[in-house]
Amino acid sequence: MNATEIIHIIGTAAFALSGYLVGVRKRLDMLGVMITAMLTAIGGGMMRDAIVGRIPLVFTQNTAWAVIGITLLLAWGFKLQNTRKRELAAVFLWADSLGLAAFTITGAQAGLALDVNIFGVVMLGFITAVGGGIVRDVLVNDIPMILRKDFYGTVSVIIGLALYGLDKLGWVNPFTLNLLLFGGYVLRLWAHRVAWRLPKF
């Protein structure tokens, strides 16, 4: 398994967990929680595949499904639904930030492989990363997170630009990819902590 595949698994698990937590918070029934977890985990990738015109990878590969299933079993087994609300919010933040960073990387790499321009690379990373979250938020009637505070979408764009730059320099390898994953994850958590807001008009 190469670095991209591992990062994809990490992102899938992280987003499955974040979707699960949203489902619990919204008091959905068991199927609603599973759907929310699943859509958050595969939604972005399916959007990306639909946009570039190919059959979704999750229809021909079983990895993501195994990862989602295992994640949900673990979450349920650890009785995450009985955790206090404040701790749930913290776990959600970590999971969602990790998924954001991971899926930006794998999505942007798909763009690099297709030889699109810098906007395409950044957008494919962005869509793969926030797509699942948008579907999840819209379905449960929340305003999607990318339009609220905390630099959510900006982090994805920054990671995408960084990967594009690394590719132009020929510096894409497992080490830099993992560095980018860790860096993006930390950046997102830091932006949330500092509560850094872009200036309003």
Residue 6 token pair: 């591992």
User: In the range 119-148, which residues lie near a copy of itself by CB under 8 A?
Assistant: 119-120, 123-124, 134, 138-141, 143-144, 146-148
Region binding a copy of itself by CB under 8 A among candidate stretches 6-14, 52-60, 93-101, 171-179: 52-60
Binder among 15, 103, 151, 164 for a copy of itself (CB under 8 A):
151
Contact 122, 160 (CB under 8 A): yes
Counting contacts by CB under 8 A, is residue 33 touching a copy of itself?
yes
In our burial notation (b when 16+ CB lie closer than 10 A, e otherwise), range 32-54 reads: ebbbbbbbbbbbbbbbbbebeee
Binder among 83, 154, 176, 178 for a copy of itself (CB under 8 A):
154
- Return d(Cα 173, Cα 26) in angstroms, integer: 40
71-100 footprint of a copy of itself as x/- string (CB under 8 A): ----------x-------------------
Residue 46 C-beta: closest distance to a copy of itself, Å: 7
Counting contacts by CB under 8 A, is residue 175 touching a copy of itself?
no
Which residues of this protein are in contact with a copy of itself, per CB under 8 A? 24, 27-33, 35-36, 46, 49-56, 58-62, 65, 81, 111, 114, 116-117, 119-120, 123-124, 134, 138-141, 143-144, 146-149, 151, 153-154, 197-201
